[in-house]
Amino acid sequence: MIIYATTEGHTRTISEYLRDEAEKAGHSVALIDSTVTPPAPDEFEAVIIAGSIHGGKYQSALKHYTLEHRETLNGMKSVFLSVSLTAAADEPESWKELRQQTEDFLNETGWQPAFTEQVAGALLYTKYDFMKRFLMRVITKRAGGDSDTSKDYVYTDWDQVRGIMQKIEQD
């Protein structure tokens, strides 16, 4: 089962890609939006939970699900897929903050996944409202990144995402 939380839709896109790769490998996969009530994890062999960081936090639906099911998740093969723009950057201080945010989430929920994968997200300017587009452009331009707001920028390493299935199968 893959449970995802998304704000602009890119984490869903990553989760769909991962589902498609798992199905190519012969696995049956349930892809579930965390905002609907996902089934209990004990119905599945493995669970991938994917969420993105916005404003320093993961979506609250992920927190609620992992808190409710942490004992089961901790007793099975489970993976946390963390999506962020920070994962696209090569800035040690930003990565330190990203790791801390992820660690804080895992500590708050008591969940101990088999592994956590930090995956680069996307700048989806065309999906942002005026204020968010403006703020993201200012932040990105200051960091020397892509600031043409007429298009979107996907930084996801699809080979890395494909490799998650290999890690799960090896575990």
Give pLDDT tens digits for 3-23: 999 988 999 999 999 999 999
**Secondary structure of residue 139 in the 3-state scheme:** helix
Instruction: Give the pLDDT band of residue 162 (cuts 50, 70, 90).
Output: very high
Encoded tokens for 121: 């997200």
**104 Cβ contact partners less than 8 Å away, ≥ 6 residues apart:** none
Q: What angle do CA 165, 166, 168 make, to 5 degrees?
A: 65
Tell me: the pLDDT tens digits for 85-140?
888 888 888 899 999 999 999 999 999 999 999 999 998 999 989 998 998 898 88
Instruction: Give the pLDDT band of residue 171 (cuts 50, 70, 90).
Output: low
In order of their start, the domains of the chain are 2-121+158-170 (3.40.50.360), 123-155 (no CATH)
**pTM of this structure:** 0.91
Q: Are 34 and 66 in contact (CB under 8 A)?
A: no
Q: Which helix (H) or strand (E) holds 33?
A: strand 31-33
Q: Are 10 and 154 in contact (CB under 8 A)?
A: yes
Q: Which residues pair with 51 in a beta bridge?
A: 82
